[in-house]
Amino acid sequence: MIEIDLSQGWQVLQDVHDRGELLGLFEPDFRTTIGKGVSEWQPLPRLAHLQTIFALQPYFGRELRYFNDHAWWYRLDFDAPSTPATLARLTFEGVDYFAKAWLNGQLLGEHEGYFEPFEFDVNEILHRDQPNTLVVRVSAPWDKEVPEGRADDYSLLVIRNQIKGLYEHCDTFVQRDVNPVGIWRPVKLTMSDTCLPGGRLHATAQVTEGSAAKPVAITWPVLAGHKIEGGEFNAWIEEVDTGLVVAQEKRTVTLTQGGNQLQTSLSIDQPRLWNTWDRGEAARYCARVSLHTDGRSLLSDRVIFGVQTVTMTRTENETSVSLNGKKLFVRGTAYMPDVYMSKMNTARYERDLAAMRRVGVNTVRVHVHVELPEFYDICDRLGLLVLQDTDLNWNFPTDDEFARRAVAVSSAMIDMLKDHPCILGWVCMNESRSPEANRIGEAIEQAAHRLDPARPTIRNSWDEFDLASGDSHYYDGGLGGGKYTDIVRRNHKMLSEFGADVPASMANLRSVPALAKRLEKLAPHIPDLHEYQYRLIKYQIEHLRIRKYNPCSGYFHFMWIDLCPQSFYGVYDYWGNPKSDGPGGDGGLRAFEEANSPIGIFMEHVDQPEAIWAVNDLDRDIDGCLAQWWVTTQEGREIAGGEQELSLPADTGVRVAELSFPVQSDVKYRVHLALRDAQGNDLARNRYDDPFHHPTLRPGYPWRIDHEIGVRLWDA
């Protein structure tokens, strides 16, 4: 098999009069002349979203709108090797969003989406003795339809006709003028005189009860250029970390010309289970397949998978996750690290995911988009569960044609990701408040159960009263207004969005002058906002930990890192720095450090102290613990203290002791907590500075917005 990278040498132009097909832009001999109104082909330095190449500021600005007003045409002239290959396949690994492709003037086909690879068979069209011309029309048009009577509702302003979460919002999350477009992943040509991959190799561990062996179904699509008799099909499974072969099979097969499905089931005896990092090892297996004939290797492939079982229990009083038959308390965060996925890479993923693990995160929600394949590989390796959203968000069409498109794009995502052991389950829709949309969520749910029957789904994230969903979104003290202590009035079963967005440090904002200028009057108040984010996240995570399984089974903070310079939900800013200007430093990140570890010790309080709690999320008992606490004024005067011996059973929260002392409104207190094991080693520490005076939202938030830059302003 020959594989040729076609990612270099592209040219591009924009069809500003939308006449490209009429003019024959796809023809190899097309030339621009007087009257056509088409620019010369412009060399493209790399394949990426076009805004990241041509825009001086790709994250905001009215000049961005022209990128989506009209389609872009790509052209590549290339030579193919002179080979007796009977098979040739052209693969696009990522095109955003609508694509239509021609080779040597002949239409290959069309595709909708942005994350899914797609392919065309080109053997009959490909030239071996002269140059080839590949032309692709790419567009991501603006959605201009708005619902009648709802023009003032930011979350429903645009009917989102494209099935992707990463474009135009009206609440400053993704700026109004941003809609990524372009060929942004590699393009490849593969050729062979015998056979090529005919699709994605799958290895699926089957759910079985009461058996020490686990069958693994292997399915390998193969495209044969001619009939192959007496082929040797090899399949084997090995442990990723040791290379130990745990199952294998070899048999003779016959392949017919065209598409074939090679299938087998191998059994792993006493399999090592994939677990989150806080519950055990993230054991992974590699399924390998190969095809030989007459001692010649024709084709081979591999896929990483894991053996695990994920379920969800949903009742009126419970929404919980179980991993490998044991309930798991979810300590999660949401992740959407960049508006333009072409800017992401392995190094950025490694940085972000390692930082999450350091502060106790065991589950990541990929919010209304699909990440690069590298992301899921790293989560597999690090033992981080992933709750994966589809791209359906807020308001979208509800006709049958859109439903068909939505199911097709979402099914492609599930088929692409379902072998990853990190996948917890699938979120079919996010915050869809239209009753008519519910049938689309149900259709995606049915497709998910057909493609990946062992994993749970959430039909419509935020609908806590629907037992097909069961999670809730509340922004007490943030977007929802009020105080962050209002969370004590709610009985969250699974809180999948909460938090407050605050700007990055002014030192970093100044790298984007227009943004810094717009927030200049807010600059003196940014340290207070960083402190506010810290106090909100810490208080709300600790409250949810204290309410462990009574009824809370976990949470996802919104969100880990800012997805662009002017969108501020993260505990890290867009440049990867903690929001650390507050008096305690590190802002929301410090809240995770103090409140999110698997073992924690917390003070239950609102305006008065109530109790000391210890929480153990690990799957093992911790006996012989000693909890200690002491309270002082900020000047150091002792107010109260005590200690208590206790045991922490596996996966429980324990009310250690009551804590009561008279709180004077004009005094600032400090509370120190420590939890030690039988040998005197620290299991957890915590500290509260002035915990009984709760800061409130700064005026102007969240509704005062600059839509030109796409930034919240507050009142300075």
Percent of the chain whose pLDDT exceeds 90? 89
Spatial separation of the C-alpha atoms in residues 236 and 230, rounded to whole Å: 19
What's the pLDDT band for 207 if we cut at 50, 70, 90? confident
pLDDT for 209: 61
Domain boundary among 256, 274, 305: 305
> Which structural domain range is residue 477 located in?
324-595
Same domain, 242 and 124: no
Neighbours of 24 (CB within 10 A): 15
pLDDT for 629: 97
Same domain, 187 and 220: no
Spatial separation of the C-alpha atoms in residues 16 and 67, rounded to whole Å: 10
The domain total for the chain is 3
The separation between the first and the last C-alpha atoms of the chain, rounded to the nearest angstrom, is 64
Helix (H, G, I), strand (E, B) or coil at 701: coil
pLDDT for 602: 98
The DSSP bridge partners found for residue 89 are 121, 190
- Asked if residue 260 belongs to a domain, the reply is yes
Same domain, 413 and 297: no
Spatial separation of the C-alpha atoms in residues 408 and 402, rounded to whole Å: 10
Neighbours of 341 (CB within 10 A): 24
CATH number of the domain enclosing 52: 2.60.120.260
The tens digit of pLDDT for each residue in 302-340 reads 999 999 999 999 999 999 999 999 999 999 999 999 999
Does residue 418 carry a pLDDT above 60? yes
DSSP state of 272: P
Average pLDDT in the chain: 95
- Asked if residue 270 belongs to a domain, the reply is yes
User: Beta strands 296-305 and 310-314: pairing type?
Assistant: unpaired
The tens digit of pLDDT for each residue in 643-694 reads 999 999 999 999 999 999 999 999 999 999 999 999 999 999 999 999 999 9
Does residue 570 carry a pLDDT above 60? yes
Spatial separation of the C-alpha atoms in residues 687 and 672, rounded to whole Å: 5
CATH number of the domain enclosing 250: 2.60.40.10
The answer to whether 381 and 282 have CB atoms below 8 angstroms apart is yes
The tens digit of pLDDT for each residue in 71-118 reads 999 999 999 998 888 899 999 999 999 999 999 999 999 999 999 999
What's the pLDDT band for 153 if we cut at 50, 70, 90? low
Does residue 341 carry a pLDDT above 90? yes
Q: How many CA atoms lie within 13 A of 659 on its CB side?
A: 29
- Asked if residue 653 belongs to a domain, the reply is no
State the Cα torsion 585-588-590-595 to the nearest 10°. Answer: 150
Helix (H, G, I), strand (E, B) or coil at 322: strand
Helix (H, G, I), strand (E, B) or coil at 53: helix
What's the pLDDT band for 156 if we cut at 50, 70, 90? low
**CA nearest 7: which of 67, 78, 55, 73?**
78
**Mean of the pLDDT values across residues 556-570?**
96
Does residue 544 carry a pLDDT above 70? yes
Same domain, 446 and 300: no
Same domain, 563 and 504: yes
- Asked if residue 9 belongs to a domain, the reply is yes
Same domain, 382 and 297: no
CATH number of the domain enclosing 334: 3.20.20.80
Domain boundary among 559, 577, 595: 595
Domain boundary among 595, 612, 634: 595
Same domain, 186 and 238: no
The answer to whether 523 and 297 have CB atoms below 8 angstroms apart is no
The DSSP bridge partners found for residue 548 are 552
pLDDT for 148: 73
pLDDT for 279: 97
Same domain, 214 and 345: no
Spatial separation of the C-alpha atoms in residues 224 and 240, rounded to whole Å: 30
Same domain, 294 and 411: no
**Mean of the pLDDT values across residues 425-452?**
95
- Asked if residue 663 belongs to a domain, the reply is no
Structure tokens, 115: 């994350």
Structure tokens, 293: 């004939």
The answer to whether 110 and 56 have CB atoms below 8 angstroms apart is no
pLDDT for 368: 96
**Mean of the pLDDT values across residues 176-191?**
97
- Asked if residue 163 belongs to a domain, the reply is no
- Asked if residue 668 belongs to a domain, the reply is no
- Asked if residue 200 belongs to a domain, the reply is no
Spatial separation of the C-alpha atoms in residues 14 and 45, rounded to whole Å: 16
Same domain, 406 and 505: yes
Does residue 258 carry a pLDDT above 90? yes
**CA nearest 427: which of 397, 383, 393?**
393
**CA nearest 528: which of 500, 554, 552?**
500
Same domain, 421 and 459: yes
What's the pLDDT band for 33 if we cut at 50, 70, 90? confident
The answer to whether 333 and 570 have CB atoms below 8 angstroms apart is no
Same domain, 395 and 491: yes
Structure tokens, 249: 């099979």
Q: What φ, ψ does residue 248 adopt, rounded to 5°?
A: -160, 160
Does residue 208 carry a pLDDT above 90? no
The tens digit of pLDDT for each residue in 597-624 reads 999 999 999 999 999 999 999 999 999 9
Does residue 155 carry a pLDDT above 80? no
Structure tokens, 422: 């990190």
